[in-house]
Every structure is written in C-alpha cells, then in structure tokens.
Amino acid sequence: MANIIMYTSTTCKFCDKLKVFFKQNNLAFEERNVKLDPKYAQELLQKSGGYGVPVSDIDGTIIVGYNLPKIKSALGMP
C-alpha cells in the first residue's frame, strides 16, 4: 500500500475531486490542509516549489494538480 499525503485547501474543488478518486479506489491518504496549518503550507512549498493545490506525495513522488495519469502511474494503476 502506498503512503499518500495530499496537500489541500478548504475551497479547492480539484482537491475535492482527488479525495473522491482516492476514496473510490480504497486508497488511504493523509490530508494536510495548508489553510488550516501553516506548517503544512511550508512543507508544500519545500516539496513542490509553490503553494498551488492539490499536491500529492505518493511514496516521495510529488505530483502537482489533479493529474490522474501521473497519480495512477505513481500508484501502479492501469
């Protein structure tokens, strides 16, 4: 099982879509809302070089945005 950390914000529609994707595929993930905790915003900046969300950290692979082909690839999904 992959270790998934998802950086989100409160009003991000693509974050909501990505959470649905993970849940529909029974993938456990840790959500880190950058609006609710400034330390998560700092982590996000270090990992992705910016503050845009969603950002997924899948076993150390950083994927910026709602990019299902890259996310599926990182998860080993067809």
> For residue 37, which amino acid is it?
D
**Contacts by residues 61-66 (CB-CB < 8 Å, ≥ 24 positions apart):** 65/14, 66/14, 66/17, 66/18
pTM: 0.95
User: Percent of the chain having pLDDT more than 70?
Assistant: 100
| Containing structural domain, residue 52 | 4-75
pLDDT in tens, 29-38: 999 999 999 9
Q: What is the DSSP letter of 66?
A: S
CATH number at residue 56: 3.40.30.10
Number of domains composing the chain: 1
Burial of 76 (0-12, 13-18, 19+ CB in 10 A): exposed
Across 1-46, the runs of DSSP E, i.e. the strands, are: 4-8, 30-33
pLDDT in tens, 36-67: 999 999 999 999 999 999 999 999 999 999 99
